[in-house]
Amino acid sequence: MHRRNVGGIWQCAWTCLLSALISAAPCTAEEPALQGPPPSPRPPTVVVSWDGTGDFGPQTPNTKTAGWQEAIDHCVAQGRDLYITGGWGGRKAIYNVSETITIPATQDFRIDGGIYVLNWTGIPDGPAKDLVAIDSTMNGEYHFGIFVYGGAGAALRIRPEHPVPIDGFAVTVETEITSQGIADPSPFTPGERKTGTGLILDGSRAPITCSRFDFIGGILNFNTCVDVRGAFVQNEFRCLHLHTNADNSTLFELGPECSQNTVKLAVGVDQGASGVKGIRIRGFNNTFEIKTRGGFPRGNDLILEDSADGNRIELVHGRPEFDPLDFITDGAARATNQITWAGSTIPARTIDLAAGTETYTQRLYPASVIISKGEVSRLTFVRGPTSIDFTPWRAHPVLLDVGDQLVVESPSPVQLMVIPHKSS
């Protein structure tokens, strides 16, 4: 937490404590308790309500945001928090919005509320307007209901760009953002979505760091459901149900500058949608817990792109036995990403090497390697800059960690048997 103007805080604390002790002391007959009218109640927050009972709402004059933007502007001017009224049953607590709701750079600001629907009514094929756009936030808490969005921009875009009002620089930090979910307006209609993104976390102008993002009710049915880009660093991200019935869509994209994040996702494909890509990782040194119920083309639950580096991934599938390599496409330039999995061990594999000098690199998991067929004239173990001649022990298993290499020199073709190990 970045804090300012804290001189005298301990003196203030002691003064408040002393005042509280004096006011709590019992009154005696000689010193009767003072009597007076109770203070007038003052609501702690500004209220937006769908039924006209709040400070703002659909009844707000000339509003295109069901009173949201007017309420946020009032909170900024008056230094207040915001409460959005929800309602039982899901049919009445609906806020229809045709212009982007913008939350400017803030500090120490909270949006709370019940469960409601924030529904985009803008032109579907018009300009790429977002439903909600959030600028820099320091020490903020935003607790949203359900976003329903069919536009060409993003349902929720978090993009720190302007300086926060007290500390004076652009950032999203020490902030919590939760939502009951983000959905396309036709959740049960299969087919391709040409445009539109559910959630964009954009740290390209200023970092998003040390914050928490929690999507409880899921994100579903967009061209791209979640797009994370720029300096998204040291955050926690969780989506309990990330899924789609949109053909040729992508569930989660993590950009090359994203690092040191903890990501927990449950993913799946609905209604037999085709060509769906699950999680595409380009970042480095992140940890993932991925629960997949499948439905993706082979190797498309998880895709490690060229720049993916040093990521650690735990895979969980609903089958009693499954081979995680059926779910992964490993296109990373370096053999530094590592997986582990719930369930049984992976079967041993055989690798055929041509005569001459061939190099085998261990990827994704540690394994023991045995020369099962052929004669080897020289066997060299390589880890980084270190090389060890293993030729005298070529008949015994060689334990390789992720990224280790065996250089095999042989006068004729050789077969390796690779026995995977589960790592914790």
The string of pLDDT tens digits covering residues 354-378 is: 999 999 999 999 999 999 999 999 9
Same domain membership, residue 159 and residue 302: yes
Whether residue 288 is found in the same domain as residue 402: no
Predicted pLDDT at 34: 43
User: Tens of pLDDT along 372-406?
Assistant: 999 999 999 999 999 999 887 667 899 999 999 99
Kindly tell me if the per-residue pLDDT of 21 is higher than 50: no
Is 66 part of a structural domain of the chain? Answer: no
In this predicted model, what pLDDT tens digit does every residue of 97-107 receive, in sequence order? 999 999 999 99
Task: Give the whole-angstrom CA distance, residue 210 versus residue 320.
Answer: 36
Structure confidence at residue 344 as a pLDDT band (50, 70, 90): confident
Judged against a pLDDT cut of 50, whether residue 29 lies above it is answered with no
Residues 286 and 375 in one domain: no
Close Cβ partners of 79 (under 8 Å, ≥ 6 residues apart): none
The confidence score (pLDDT) of residue 144 equals 98
What pLDDT was estimated at residue 20? 36
- Among 160, 70, 68, smallest CA distance to 107 is for 160
Residues 250 and 353 in one domain: no
- pLDDT (0 to 100) of residue 9: 32
What percentage of the chain has pLDDT greater than the value 70? 88
Nearest to 95 by CA among 150, 155, 48, 55: 48
- Nearest CA-CA partner of 116 in 70, 139, 82, 81: 82
Residue after which a domain boundary falls, among 341, 360, 394: 341
Tell me the residue range of the domain where 328 lies: 86-341
Q: Answer whether 236's CB lies under 8 Å from 212's CB.
A: yes
What's the pLDDT at 422? Answer: 84
Residue with more model confidence, 3 or 234: 234
> 369 near 361, Cβ under 8 Å?
no
How far is C-alpha 356 from the chain's CA centre? 47
Single out the residue in 319, 341, 363 at which a domain terminates.
341
Are residue 305 and residue 413 in the same domain, yes or no? no
pLDDT at residue 424 in the model: 65
Give percent of the chain above pLDDT 90.
79
